[in-house]
Structure 1
Amino acid sequence: MVDARVETERAINSLELCVQALFDNGGREIPMDLTQAGAGRTAYTFCEPIAPVVAISAFNHPLNLIVHQVGPAVAAGCPVLIKPALETPLSCRSFVNILHEAGLPEAWCRFAPCANQTAEKMVTDRRMAFVSFIGSANVGWTLRSKLAPGTRVALEHGGAAPVIVDRDVECKSVIASLLKGGFYHSGQVCVSVQRVFVPTDELADFEDQLGRRVASLIGSDPADLRTECGPLIRPAEVDRVESWVAEAVKGGGTLSAGGRRLGDTMFEPTVIVNPPSEAKVSRQEIFGPVICLYGYNDLDDAIAQANGIPYAFQAAVFTNRMSVAKRCIEMLAGSTVLVNDHTAFRVDWMPFAGLKQSGLGTGGIGYTMADMTVRKMAVLNWSHQA
C-alpha cells in the first residue's frame, strides 16, 4: 500500500515532466556560413513525431512504467498502443481512460491487453515506427531481432546490481540503505541490490548485522501498511527463487537469513554469503527478495567481479574516501554509479539505461520523448534570389 501511494505520486510527477519536456523539445539554428560551401544559406531543425509507437510494459510498477512509455508518446504527438503485463492490466486501463476523459481522442492511445503472440504481431508490424519494451532480456532481445527494417526500439531489462562496501564504513547506515534497495517491492525491481562486496576481514560482522535486520523484516499482505516485504507476482516465481537459493547453498553458499518459501507467493527475505561465482544468484537477475554477500581483499578484484557478468545497469559504492569513489565511478560497469546510496535509487527525470544485455537506449521522461521524435532540418538557400 505504501509503495502504491509512492508510485501514484511518481506517476503524477512524470506526467508533469512530460508537459515540461514540451518546452525543451524545440529545434535550433544550424550555422551555415562557417565555410564558403554554406554561404547564402540558413538552416534550422525542428521536431516531428516519429509515428506509431507500440509499448509493452512490466508488472512491477504497473502505473508509473505505463506513464513513462505512454506520456512521452502522447506529448511527442505519436499514436500509441500500450500492452500492459498480463498480471497487472487495471492500472494501465485506468490511465488510458483518464487520458480519454481529458480529451485525448481514443484512437490516439489504445489500451491493448493481449496474449504475447498478438503483442509480437503488433511489434513486428511494418507500420510501427518505435517499440518501447520493459521486461525480461530474453523476450526483449528476441523481439528486437524480429523488428521490421527501420523500426527503432528502446529496451529496458534488468541486471544483478553490484554494491561495493569500502573498508571502515559505518555499517548501520549502509545496511539501512541496502534493506531499502534490496527488498523494496520484494526485490522485483530491475536495479534491485543483489550482489554486495565487503572487505573479507569485515564480512562476518557485516553479515551478522545485515542478517539480523533482514530476519526482522515484516512480510505480509501488501495492503498492510506495516509490510516491508510482500509477495512475488506469481507462484512460479517463488519456485524459481527457491531453486536458485537451493543451488547457491548446495554449491557452498551460507544462509545468513531466510531461505524458505512461506507460501504459494511468499519467499522469506534472504541473505546468502559467498555463493559460488557460477551460481545463478551470482550471474543472473533474481528479481526476488535475495541479497548475496561476497568477501574481497582488493578493490580492483571486487570491481572485476562486479563487472564480470553480461548485465550492467546501476551500480553503487559506499565509502568515506574520494579516491575510492572516483575509482568505482570510473571502473564499475553501468550507466549510473551511485556513491553512498543503494542501486535502486531513481528519479523520473534522470537518464536510466541498461548496458550490455541489460537494455538498449535511454529511459527517463525527456530522453524517451527525444527518442520518439525525429529532428528534421530545413536548409534555405537564398543565394538564388534576384
Structure 2
Amino acid sequence: MTEVTLSPAIINGKAVTAEHTTEVRSPFDNTLVGLVPTLTVSDVDAAIAVAVERHHGPQLPAYERAAILDRAAVLLSERVEEFAQSICAESAKPITAARIEATRAADTFRFSAAQARTLVGEMVAMDASIAGVGKLGFVKRVPIGVIGAISPFNFPLNLVCHKVAPAIAAGCPVVLKPASATPLTALKLAHLIAEAGLPDGWLNVVTCPGSVADRLVTHDDIAMITFTGSPGVGWEIRARAPRKRVSLELGNNAPVIVHDDADLELAATKIVAGGFGFSGQTCISVQRVYAHSNIYAELLSLVATKVEALQVGDPADANTAVSALISRKETQRVKEWIDEAITQGATLVTGGDFTSTEVLRPTILADVRAEMQVCSDEVFGPMIGFQQYEEFEDALRFSNDTRYGLQAAVFTNDLSRALRAADALDFGGVVINEMPTFRTDQQPYGGLRDSGNTREGPAFAVQEMTERRMVIIHQ
C-alpha cells in the first residue's frame, strides 16, 4: 500500500503547512489519496502580499514569460501519464479521459506562450481630431495586477491551466485556490511550472476552505477574480466585488437538436459521448435532446443501446467510461432528480439505479418536460432527457427556454437549417453535427445569463487580465 503524504501549499516558492490538514479521498472507493494543509486567512494574506510585491517589482519580459510557458508545455507533455493518474485518483475521472485532459493542458500552455509573444497595443490616429494634431498616441496593454484564481473539481488540471497560463502570459502574479476535492493535481502543476523557470511568488497555491478563500474576494489588493463553478457562488462573488474585474465561467444545460435529415448513428454516438463523459460532470455535458418525431424512437433506441454498452466502475480501468460522481451527496441529489422526473411522467429507458460499487448508472429518460428539474436546472450527472418536436422552430424555442447559455448543438444535413440554428440559438457557442461538449483550448469559450460573463481561451483571457493604458506624446 502506497504511503499517503502531505502535499504542502506553496507561497513564495516555499512549502507551507498548517495546524490542521484536509483529506483528499477518491470519490470511487473513498481511498485516502492525499493530505493538504488547511490554511487560514493569514496564510491567504501572506500569499497576496507576495503576489503584490511581484506585481510592483521587476517585471518578467515577454520573451521570458513565453519561454517559461513553452517549457511547461514540454514538461507536461513528457508527464501526461503522471498527471493523468493524479486526476484519476482524486476526481474519479476515468483514466482514458484523464489522459486526454493532461494532453489538452499542454496545448493550453502553448497557446498562452503564443499570446505572451504577440500581446500588443494599438496606434491611435490622434490627428483624426483637430485637437490631436501634433500628438502621437498609442495604447499599451499592461498587467491588471494580482489575479485571484478559483478553480473547479471537474478539470483539476486543464481548468487550472486556463487561469494560470494566461495570467503568466499577461504578466500577472496569481494566488490560486484549487477545488477542495481536487487540490493535488494543482499543486503538482505548480511545481512543474516552477521547474519550467517561473520565479518564486508569481504562482502561489493556497489550500483552504471556501470560507477562507473568500479573502480573495474581499482583499483590496486582488485586482481580478477568475472563477469557475456554480452560478449561485459566482454571481455572489460578482456582487460582493463590484470594484474588481470578475470573470465567471458557470453552469449550463446543454441542448441537442436532432432533425430528421441527420446522420442518426453519428448523432447517437456524439450524444452518448457528450452526455456521459466524466459521468456528465462537465458544464457542456449533453442534458436535453430534442429529436424530430419522425426519428425520435429510432434515435432513442440507438442511444439506449450504446449507453447500455458503457462500462461503469473503477476509473483506473482503461475500459471504464462512467465512474463515481465527486461525492455521495451529489450522487444522491442526481438520483433524487431522476426519481422525481419519473414520478412526474418521464419514462425510464435505461439506468437510474446503482452498481454494486454504488456508482449511479448512466440514465436515459424519455418524454421529459420543460418544468421538470432535470430539464430546467443543471443536472451535472449521468442523465440525458429526450423530448420530441414537430417543427424545427419549436426545437429552437425549446432549446432557448433556459436560464443558461453556454453551448448548444444541432444535427442536420441541411446547411440553411444549420445556419438558422447558429442565428437563433442564444448560446455562447453553437456546434453543428458535433456534441455541445466539444471544445478546443484556443477557442473563445463562455456563455450568457447564468452560464457566466466571460470568454476563456488564452487569447481572450489575456485581454481580460490586462488593462489599456493610453500614452500621448506631444511632438
Tell me which residue corresponds to 2:447: 354
1:310 maps to what in 2?
403
Counterpart secondary structure, 2:127: coil
What is the CA-CA distance between 1:35 and the residue it aligns to? 3.0
TM alignment of 1:252-331, pairs within 5 A: 252-262=345-355, 266-331=359-424
* Separation of aligned partners in 1, 2:439 and 2:330: 25
Moved more, 313-322 or 264-273: 264-273
User: Could you tell me which amino acid in structure 2 is paired with residue 373 of structure 1?
Assistant: T
After superposition, give the CA deviation of every residue in 1:254-313 in whole Å (9 maximum; x if it has no partner): 011111122675111111011132111111111111111100011111111111111110
Aligned counterpart in structure 2 of residue 38 of structure 1, from 103, 113, 132: 132
CA contact under 8 A between 2:261 and 2:414: conserved in structure 1? no
Can you list the C-alpha shifts for 1:106-161, whole angstroms capped at 9, x where unaligned? Answer: 221111110111111222211110000001111111111111x4200110111110
Indicate yes or no: 2:132 matched with 1:28.
no
Amino acid at match of 2:310: L
The question of whether the paired residues in 1 share the 8 Å contact of 2:157 and 2:189 is answered with yes
321, 338, 344: which one pairs with 2:437? 344
User: What amino acid sits opposite 1:85 in the alignment?
Assistant: A
Distance apart, 1:104 and its partner CA: 2.0
Higher relative contact order (CA 8 A, sep 6+): 1
Describe the SS at the equivalent of 2:201: helix
Aligned match of 2:289 in 196, 205, 209?
196
Q: In angstroms, what is the RMSD of aligned CA positions?
A: 1.2
Equivalent residues of 1:164, 1:317 under 8 A apart = yes
TM-score, length-normalised on structure 1?
A: 0.96
Task: Tell me what 2:163 maps to.
Answer: 69
Question: What CA distance in whole angstroms lies between the structure 2 residues aligned with 1:70 and 1:114?
Answer: 18
Asked if structure 2 preserves the Cα contact closer than 8 Å seen for 1:303 and 1:332, the reply is yes
Which letter does structure 2 place at the counterpart of 1:226?
A: N
Range 203-212 or range 88-97, more displaced:
203-212
1:380 match: 473
Gap runs ≥5 in structure 1: none
Partner Cα distance (2:202, 2:224) in 1: 15
Residue 7 in structure 1 maps to residue 101 in structure 2: yes
Within the candidate set 209, 217, 234, 1:140 is matched to: 234
Runs of 4+ in 1 over 3 A off after TM superposition: none
Distance 1:333 1:261 in 2: 36
Letter paired with 2:129: T
2:383 counterpart letter in structure 1 = V
| Residue 180 of structure 2 corresponds to residue 86 of structure 1 | yes
1:17 to 99, 107, 111: 111
Say if 1:67 and 1:264 are closer, same or farther in 2 by CA, change over 3 A.
same
Work out the CA distance in 2 between the residues paired with 1:26 and 1:201: 53
1:98 Cα offset (Å)? 1.6
Query: How far apart, CA to CA, are the structure 1 residues paired with 2:154 and 2:403?
Result: 23
Query: Which residues in structure 2 correspond to 1:123-202 (within 5 Å)?
Result: 123-147=217-241, 149-202=242-295
DSSP-derived class of the 2:438 partner: coil
Partner of 1:205: 298
AA at the equivalent of 2:266: S
SS of residue matched to 1:357: helix
Number of aligned positions between the proteins: 381
Code of the residue aligned with 1:240 in structure 2: it is R
What CA distance in whole angstroms lies between the structure 2 residues aligned with 1:286 and 1:29?
Answer: 48
Distance in 2 (alpha carbons) for counterparts of 1:380 and 1:122: 38
Provide structure 2 residue ranges, at least 5 long, that are not aligned to the other structure: 1-94
Matching of residue 97 in structure 1 with residue 194 in structure 2:
no
1:307–1:332 CA contact under 8 A, matched in 2: yes
For residue 103 of structure 1, give the secondary structure of its aligned residue in structure 2.
coil
TM-score, normalised with respect to structure 2:
0.79
Partner Cα distance (1:150, 1:264) in 2: 48
Deviations 1:76-124 (A, max 9, x none): 1111110111110011001111222333232211111101111112222
Contact 1:238 1:261 (8 Å CA) reproduced = no
Cα distance in 2 for residues equivalent to 1:296 and 1:377: 54
CA distance, structure 2, for counterparts of residue 310 and residue 62 of structure 1: 26
Q: Conserved in 2, the CA contact under 8 Å of 1:84 and 1:112? A: yes
Give deviations 1:226-259, integer Å, cap 9, x for gaps: 0111211111111011000001111000011111
**Alpha-carbon contact 2:105-2:161 (below 8 Å) kept:** yes
Q: State the Cα distance separating 1:185 from its structure 2 match.
A: 0.9
CA contact (8 A) 1:233 1:265 kept: no
Match among 318, 323, 332 for residue 230 of structure 1: 323
Cα contact 1:235–1:265 (8 A) shared by 2? no
CA, structure 1 residues 292+55, in 2 after alignment: closer, same or farther (shift >3 Å)?
same
SS at match of 1:378: strand
Aligned 8 A contact 2:146 2:223 in 1: yes
